[in-house]
Amino acid sequence: MIAFNPLTIASDLTPELYGKYCQFIYERAGITLPNNKQTLVAGRITRRMRDLQLHSTGEYWDYVCEHEEEAQYLVDALTTNETRFFREQRHFDRLTEIAAQHTGSEPFKVWSAACSSGEEPYSVAMVLAESLGTRPWQVLGSDINCQVLEQCRLALYPINASELIPRPLLTRYCLEGVNQLKGRFTVVSELKQRVNFRQINLNTNLPMDDLFDVIFLRNVLIYFDPNTIRTVINRVVQRLKPGGYLFIGHSENLRGVSPLLQSVEPSVYRRV
């Protein structure tokens, strides 16, 4: 007979202490956590407390304050977001159109600025491989979360994550795992070589001088307050080429946020 221990979540996370965790993630990542996320935060903290053999959320808070590497772990735990291959297909149709118009010898550059576990930048890479072929192009994927960046570089995904990949692209750019990798798939090495990943915190000064033809900043602004949105957008727009495009999530809006951005269609902006 298989026995299970009760699944419990720390119940000692007081509103005052929850406020400290909220302030921490706001200062580190610019993310605003509403009151209704207290159970989610407690759940993610509880798992880590077990690993460290700590007995209260207050004890864990003290540990975070004393260990910078644990502070990054907490950022990682609180910034994991759902993503999918070819999420919001219209953006990838638009990317195909933009890439097809690219001329000149300079590489066509795309930045996936909150790439999570890599589905978005690899989707971008498939589109560019189709549109530009052997012509020079590059994709940068970045995230504040160190753990998901390791997943990006590994590029191993469950088979059911491939369901939204258009079949011709799936056949051409994806490989199914065998033996111990059965049930998973990866992307071909030719794509991996064109996609680079690095940790970037959008809430701080950006650590690169590159200019991009297209920037994907999707489904992240919903976690920011208005002041942080304005700061992040103004920072990101400086890395967008004049005439370049910014894609945000379909539920997001940048009306009045930056005079440098002109709305092309819902969730698509062009730098003037």
Amino acid at 206: L
Please identify which of the residues 28, 143, 194, 239 carries the catalytic annotation: 143
Q: What is the 3-state secondary structure (H, E, C) of 180-242?
A: HHCCEEEECHHHHCCEEEEECCCCCCCCCCCCEEEEEECCCHHHCCHHHHHHHHHHHHCCEEE
Strand partners, 187: 174
> 270 an active-site residue?
no
**Contact present, 218 and 245 (Cβ < 8 Å):** no
Amino acid at 167: R
Query: Residue 49: which residues within 8 A CB-CB, separation 6 or more?
Result: 10, 55, 56, 57, 59, 60
> 213 an active-site residue?
no
**Contact present, 145 and 80 (Cβ < 8 Å):** yes
Region for residue 220 given its phi and psi (left: phi exceeds 0; alpha: psi -120 to 50; beta: otherwise) = alpha
Please identify which of the residues 44, 48, 135, 235 carries the catalytic annotation: 44
Q: DSSP label at 96?
A: H
Query: Residue 91: which residues within 8 A CB-CB, separation 6 or more?
Result: 216, 218, 247, 267, 268
Cα first-last separation, the chain: 67
Query: Residue 79: which residues within 8 A CB-CB, separation 6 or more?
Result: 25, 29, 31, 143, 144, 145
Distance CA 191, CA 211 (A): 21
Q: Which residues are catalytic?
A: 44, 143
